Structure 1
């Protein structure tokens, strides 16, 4: 008998064992369709990576410690401190439990902790104050408002653009 591996045998890159093929995760990007490491070695490498990043699994934490440090230069302590200074709510709208670090894209400085919508809104306006001011002007100009014209009598004030609200709204 020969000691050469069969076509169905695959050595693990990490431990160099030759476990059954069912002990490898599937990976369509690899030529053989399987991962290079056995499931046991892959799990050990994943656990070591978790410990290196502060022991917090990335899937369970909205702001993993390693990510905060790499991306914004702050740790969990600074994140919690910022959140406490804001009263535990979004710095813009006051929504509970904000999870997104807002930073200035030019300087990289962290400004606060925001909810998903406020953080995305600032990003859509590219942190440009003139764009935000233009949006406020637009909203004011297209919002119909009740105006008191006589005690107890109101009239809908005509905006600069837009249509009157439908009777059902």
Structure 2
């Protein structure tokens, strides 16, 4: 898939883990089956913390932990909504190894979140959220939410840090 669709970015400053989970919950409110969310940021930035909030918002079975060693985990919906497929691409060598996971087979019925997905997973969906997280010395985070494709046009633009506390 190509990256020719429209893009738009929102930047939010997040002060706490609680606020990071709230951001995940706010994103969950906008997701639906078939959506792809790519997370990037250094170790300890808050990618899994964000995903925990997303999972809570989707009301899927937990606990949600980093899938670094499992590579992928599926969290079934508890309420008849989409499942959450949580992938960690950190140890994968590239798009070919991600393709070996056969994620496309179940993506239509799930929300798929891929940590360390930038540069590896964009081909999975022309419409996606690309969320980058930078953690600062004071533990605040700058979160950039890049909306790629028509599916995300006009969503999540009004997020503010005040809403996340």
Q: TM-score, normalised by structure 2?
A: 0.25
Greater RCO (CA < 8 Å, at least 6 residues apart):
2
> Whose strand proportion is higher, 1 or 2?
2
Q: TM-score, normalised by structure 1?
A: 0.25
> Whose helix proportion is higher, 1 or 2?
1
Structure label with greater radius of gyration: 1
